[in-house]
Structure 1
Amino acid sequence: MYNKMASLKRLLQLPRGWQTCRQITGTDGITLHLRATRKTASCPECLTHSHSVHSCRRRRVQHLPCSGQALWLVFAIRHWYCRNPSCSRKIFAESLAPFAGPQQQSSALLKNLQHQLGLIAGGEAGRRAAVASGIQISADTLLRRVVQAPEQTENRTRHVGIDEWAWHRGHRYGTLIVNLDTHRPLVLLPGREQRTLAAWFKKYPEIQVVSRDRGGIYALAARDGAPQAIQVADRWHLLKNIGDALERMMYRHMPLIRLVATELSPQKTEC
């Protein structure tokens, strides 16, 4: 039994110092009840060990899904007396860190997965993908995960995307440059001048790929400022190019397409 429980803990990446005492499968997913195995706890303020339990409460945390079902962990959190008379904290609770932060309803691993879903798919599309995988979350919460994620230090900038943005549509435009590896903005430039863009590219000689639209200004700026980089069309313009080429091909062969459609039509009757 011990080996089975240990394997289950490793498989589900459950926190150390806790053991499963009950399992329930319901309409909202799988629920595991856990209790602490340690007999003492340390006060977070003075680090004094305590053997005196004050009370116990349940804390429900959503974890990574299991076989397409939502996984809920219910921890029996004990509150302890701090017996250090000089300590300002008289009662403290068991901590789930680093598995889950204070007052958090999702594990750190699940929050990271939600953050990645939000970055890749956005709010509503990410929510649908999450629900299909067994993660219960709203679109607003998914976007909140992206906004609340800590800033990452970007030591290397190898793949960048460049596009325009409108101060006043049809009149004044700026330039947005994004790190395609981290999906984070690198700079927001107030204009689209070739000299300014080329000067920015020269600050990053490690750039290997520039994804851009079909505009000539960005092509010239990337060529002057990052001659070592490969220039590629961004995803939107690739799809636009494919769509335009397909439309032209269909137009050239439209008489033949109509003829074949007429021959295959089930409503065609012989005279």
Structure 2
Amino acid sequence: MASKTVEHVLFPGIDVRVERVSDSSGSLVVEAVSTARPGRCPDCRKQARRVHSSYQRTLTERPLGSRQVMVRLRVHRYFCDRRSCSRRTFVQQVGGLTERHRRSSVGLTDWLRAIAVELGGRPAARLCHRLRLAAGRTRLLRLLKAPAVPDRAPQVLGVDEFAFRKGCTYGTVLVDVEAGRVVDVLPDRTSETFAAWLAGHPGAEIICRDRATAYTKAVKEAAPDALEVADRWHLLQNLSAAVEKTCHQHRNCLRKHTEEEVAKTVMDVPEPQPMLLPPAELPRTQIIERTRHRYEGVHRLLEKGWTISAIARRLNLDRKTVRRFRDTDLDQMLASARDRRPNGVLEPLKAYLNARFTEAQGQASGIRLFLEIRERGYQGSRQVVRKHLAALRAGTAEPVRADIPSPRKITSWIMRPRDTLTESQEERLLQIRLACPDITRACDLARASPIWYVTSADTCCRSGSARQSRTRRSR
């Protein structure tokens, strides 16, 4: 009765008989015997009748709880009695448990294959290690099999490039848009390879691609009757890029509006008497020194008559960077480098500290100011406050930067469906719209676009995990 219970738990619906279960080095060892009927010859499919011999196979089974399971299964080897068959003997296979030339059970193999499909090589190997499944990345990748490519292309074919290694090697993924599945993967992104694939797989009536013209030549050569359309993801990406560009251009409007709001907030502090501070100087930080050094190097080579490309190669810079150093004043470059310094935990309270420092005519106690800003939510160290006060006395303190969201964050608030924004995000977006009419106009135009409405409705209907799963499968 106990053995039947073990068989029901470990091998449900499988023709085996459990003879013994033992514990060996923290693993369960199950000794079983096959009770399946004699199988058929894998070559001629003739039913076996005579037993040649028997031997014991060792299989790795799915873990039971936190313990690994090892199956020692005794199976038969049979004769093939058909004289015309080249095979003399063959091994019995137990349905649902064993496969030829495999040392893991069918259930464990299915588990490993599913993990490899979702995660790939190294991430899947790390998960298997956590789940106590003995499988390396090479073994997992060997379980993956490329699906059969149909002879004809789907009616609506999607084509896009992807990176095997970003910046180095790229490929092309072909997708059946109507079925939502990958059709084939090409080893590169050249028009010649795509044209050869279209010539060998006719039938595409609509080809959905991005707005680049890399694949247009291949379509005109191999499928001239196909209709080329731009997919909505790339249209939405282009719309987002236009909105983000507008937010970049009008960042000064947001900074001015925020500085006015900060000034109103600090008005509750008594009006300090004017205090003469030393003239402000730029702090000698690494990014400022690097900017000054690059500016001098670019202009020194320009005076010698060097071209933009030659300077870029000599200084190991991009040509756009060289042009920016050529066309921009040094003071503006240094100010931009100073603004790129990251905000710290003291940044939201610098306006209050500066006002209190000026009120005390430079004689403010650092400990007292530290305790005051602690009551206002400061969670940093006293050393940071001491350094800022020292910079105020020396005249090298940086101006208080306005707390404004980045253009990319503003773009995400505009492009996302309204019901997915939190109350604080909606309030920040409303303040931005009030601060800059041009960003307000860009927001209204983006949300009035048909592609925004279609994508927003589609986003509400699908979960993010489903989209990520499709992306991983397409890669």
The TM-score with structure 1 as length reference comes to 0.60
Q: Which has the higher helix share?
A: 2
Going from structure 1 to structure 2, the CA distance change for 1:109 and 1:178 (only over 3 Å counts) comes to: farther
User: What CA distance in whole angstroms lies between the structure 2 residues aligned with 1:41 and 1:217?
Assistant: 61
User: What CA distance in whole angstroms lies between the structure 2 residues aligned with 1:255 and 1:93?
Assistant: 70
Once the two structures are TM-superposed, the CA of residue 259 in structure 1 deviates from its matched residue by 2.6
Once the two structures are TM-superposed, the CA of residue 150 in structure 1 deviates from its matched residue by 5.3
Going from structure 1 to structure 2, the CA distance change for 1:116 and 1:189 (only over 3 Å counts) comes to: same
SS at match of 2:143: helix
Q: Paired residue for 1:230?
A: 232
User: What CA distance in whole angstroms lies between the structure 2 residues aligned with 1:192 and 1:177?
Assistant: 13
**Structure 2 unpaired stretches of 5+:** 220-225, 255-338, 351-377, 390-475
Letter of the aligned partner of 1:177 in structure 2?
Answer: V
User: What CA distance in whole angstroms lies between the structure 2 residues aligned with 1:30 and 1:188?
Assistant: 45
Q: Paired residue for 2:38?
A: 41
2:124 is aligned with 1:122: no
Q: Paired residue for 1:7?
A: 8
Q: Paired residue for 2:379?
A: 264
**Map of 1:134-213 to 2, 5 A cutoff?**
134-146=132-144, 149=145, 151-153=147-149, 160=158, 162-163=160-161, 176-179=172-175, 185-187=184-186, 191=190, 204=204
Letter of the aligned partner of 2:184 in structure 1?
Answer: P
C-alpha contact 1:19 1:34 (8 A) present in aligned 2: yes
User: What CA distance in whole angstroms lies between the structure 2 residues aligned with 1:192 and 1:163?
Assistant: 11
Once the two structures are TM-superposed, the CA of residue 144 in structure 1 deviates from its matched residue by 1.8
Letter of the aligned partner of 1:264 in structure 2?
Answer: Q
User: What CA distance in whole angstroms lies between the structure 1 residues aligned with 2:80 and 2:162?
Assistant: 63
Letter of the aligned partner of 1:151 in structure 2?
Answer: P
Letter of the aligned partner of 1:259 in structure 2?
Answer: E
Going from structure 1 to structure 2, the CA distance change for 1:18 and 1:258 (only over 3 Å counts) comes to: same
Instruction: Tell which structure's C-alpha radius of gyration is larger.
Output: 2
Q: Paired residue for 2:285?
A: none
**Map of 1:13-92 to 2, 5 A cutoff?**
13=12, 16-27=14-25, 29-38=27-36, 41-42=38-39, 44=41, 46-50=46-50, 52=51, 54-80=52-78, 82=79, 84=81, 91-92=89-90
SS at match of 2:101: coil
Once the two structures are TM-superposed, the CA of residue 37 in structure 1 deviates from its matched residue by 2.5
Once the two structures are TM-superposed, the CA of residue 191 in structure 1 deviates from its matched residue by 2.7
User: What CA distance in whole angstroms lies between the structure 1 residues aligned with 2:24 and 2:349?
Assistant: 52
Going from structure 1 to structure 2, the CA distance change for 1:69 and 1:204 (only over 3 Å counts) comes to: farther
Going from structure 1 to structure 2, the CA distance change for 1:228 and 1:70 (only over 3 Å counts) comes to: farther
**Structure 1 unpaired stretches of 5+:** none
User: What CA distance in whole angstroms lies between the structure 1 residues aligned with 2:72 and 2:32?
Assistant: 6
Once the two structures are TM-superposed, the CA of residue 128 in structure 1 deviates from its matched residue by 0.7
The TM-score with structure 2 as length reference comes to 0.38
User: What CA distance in whole angstroms lies between the structure 1 residues aligned with 2:5 and 2:157?
Assistant: 46
Going from structure 1 to structure 2, the CA distance change for 1:112 and 1:7 (only over 3 Å counts) comes to: closer
Letter of the aligned partner of 2:49 in structure 1?
Answer: H
C-alpha contact 1:163 1:176 (8 A) present in aligned 2: yes
User: What CA distance in whole angstroms lies between the structure 2 residues aligned with 1:191 and 1:219?
Assistant: 8
Letter of the aligned partner of 1:8 in structure 2?
Answer: V
Once the two structures are TM-superposed, the CA of residue 98 in structure 1 deviates from its matched residue by 5.7
Q: Percent same amino acid at aligned positions?
A: 10
After superposition, what is the alpha-carbon deviation per residue over 1:107-159, rounded to whole angstroms, capped at 9, x for unaligned?
Answer: 3343333233223322221111112123111111112222xx25335586879
C-alpha contact 1:69 1:135 (8 A) present in aligned 2: no
Q: How many residues align?
A: 240
Q: Which has the higher strand share?
A: 1
C-alpha contact 2:149 2:184 (8 A) present in aligned 1: no
C-alpha contact 2:16 2:34 (8 A) present in aligned 1: yes
C-alpha contact 2:157 2:204 (8 A) present in aligned 1: no
User: What CA distance in whole angstroms lies between the structure 1 residues aligned with 2:128 and 2:182?
Assistant: 20
Going from structure 1 to structure 2, the CA distance change for 1:175 and 1:35 (only over 3 Å counts) comes to: closer
Going from structure 1 to structure 2, the CA distance change for 1:79 and 1:174 (only over 3 Å counts) comes to: closer
User: What CA distance in whole angstroms lies between the structure 1 residues aligned with 2:235 and 2:113?
Assistant: 27
Going from structure 1 to structure 2, the CA distance change for 1:97 and 1:144 (only over 3 Å counts) comes to: same
Question: Which range is displaced more, 150-159 or 137-146?
Answer: 150-159
Letter of the aligned partner of 1:17 in structure 2?
Answer: D
Q: What is the CA RMSD across the aligned residues, in angstroms?
A: 5.1
